[in-house]
Structure 1
């Protein structure tokens, strides 16, 4: 059964579930309804029978009654019992009410009504005539059941019988009225047959309505599914249809389109990255090959040491490019990596001491600690300093300050600066502004600033570019503080002391 349900579609499963729940609910209601109707009809029949008996006894007490007759419309009959439970005929009962040769005189006979009023009894009475079928001989006041039955019989055979005990002189008798329950059973059978027809029709109607409602509600999902199946790597710009209604399916479509937009942007960046990387990798290889081809064309006239220097320089550039690409790939795939407590003042002091062609002045930083990956943070700061040293005229300034929640590292140079329109573009991969900032320099890989910003943002920080008080560019690296590191610098440089490559 579970295997079949898995093969069915969602509309079919929902329809079956709704129909089953509705069928169980309606079936339970039908059973309860039959029980309530049966109890009500039996109670009404008993009340009607008691009313007939009360009226008859009232007539007897006033001396107005005659021998009881059968009410054909209600199939109601009278019966009479003596104090031993033996059946009496109408004539025998009325004979006790009056002398043989005189009129009915209840006062003379001393007729008295015993008990509070009519009470129900079980007796074997003919449903059509109201006559007692058999007299078991039980004492008066004890319920009498049909022969062979341990208790109340089926509705087809039962009658509602009520009786009233009477004292007539020294004798005790019982007068009763019976009404058959077959009309009740007939009514219940009619109602039951109607329910057997109506309930399945209702279940079928609910099932059809559930099917139509479910298929209509899920129609946008089918449209989304068809569109997603049709989207390929060449059609990432397509979007799924968004239904014009405020529900879960609309939110699903909007979320799907947002995901497709992100995938499209990621694919575009990946394609651009691959194209740029291919171009960048081709440049040093082509330059090396060109030098070697020229030297090989005239080996005797070639300056082999100069050729070797050019090839080595291009290979170094190629190595740096590969390292940068590998660093970006690792950060894209693995994120920050292992997180530890990092003393930023130690990293700043160490990078300030690193030999460069341009002097680096470092303002003695306060001890400050953050959490992150030491290698990545060192690489980010090194890229900023290398970029500043490349474009500076003769001065690079490095400082570390702290605020209430952040550690702020600034790198200033006295170079040509960065145009405000390019201050975000410089952080894009393979972006170079070398000719604008320093025309005589050959550009780097175009990945250093991109790597630095990705490191900063992966540490919940950021890097921005701006104007330096020295007239060049300022790069500001902001990182969240962990706490302040108490004590002096572990590796320090004298304040404002220049560091030069030997």
Structure 2
């Protein structure tokens, strides 16, 4: 089960807290308001019934003939009912109901000189039944006061409070999401800056923070990034200086080795084999020094100002034309994809991939320049045995020669060619990887962002 992010956990906690708080307030308001309104209605109905029963009692004591008219006049609306219980007789006025629907206990309390009241639903209408004794006769006066308006008010109040509680919960989620985003913004910036540093952008820094709780974090990260940048630049300068200092004696060694190679026939036996080993190691050393110079220059130049829009298919054609020993057609659908980049670096990317195929994989058998999902794609297929899955990631590391690690010879390479490919490709915001070629062998894939037309 996928776990919610910290931001949404904060939002949910704040939302649930807001929902509980607003629900508690809603219950409190409901109890106070409904109780108060119900007591007020009961007191009002009871006082009105007490006034009415005195009028009825007076009419019964004087033997007035207008008792029924009096009962009719005591009704307060179409939903109200007045019932007069006398020995052997029940008089009803107002909304007509069956007297038997009233609880016998309620009527008996009135007859026993005990005032009583009770909420009832009579014929679908909520009422408050008030039962009062009549002093002049053995009977009871019952008045049914309608509670329709009160119930309607209760329903409206309930809907309003429920809506308020739900809205409070949703508002809590929204505020929690906003607060979480605000609180996590420094962490997001830190993650973004750390990702840029990990991707090779050593100039990535965090902005200065006014918050004292975050200022130390930003200062510490920026100091660490400064130290890392200086360390990398020092290492790059050291490698560049060493490689540069090696070029002069190396040039002498290469020239001497070339002279000895031309006179190889004059050196037979063990001395000849030693000469072959020496000249091959000199060639490998020369290639390594050139690659080290290239890497040190790339490390020290974080940004290029000489970027241009390049037709990738034309660039690959030019590299192949310059390699007289490489005969492989370029597959491309015109118009070819265009990229914004450094032509020298991209030339080196293509050249190193072709070198890798020729030296270690039986030569290239297919070169394709494609466009896929808004990205330029270069594919170089070789005729070798393929690259084992366990070494596909690390073959782009410096001085890693895959399964040939530890071996020596002119064709084993220095372990820097593919590292240069990865460095130049990442510098252009692209990606490089190796996969299986259909039919056997390896396929090296380079993807670069297409240039805006």
TM range (shorter): 0.3 to 0.5
Work out which of the two has the higher radius of gyration on C-alpha atoms and give 1 or 2: 1
- TM-score (norm: length of structure 2): 0.42
**Structure with more of its chain in helix, by fraction:** 2
Q: TM-score, normalised by structure 1?
A: 0.38
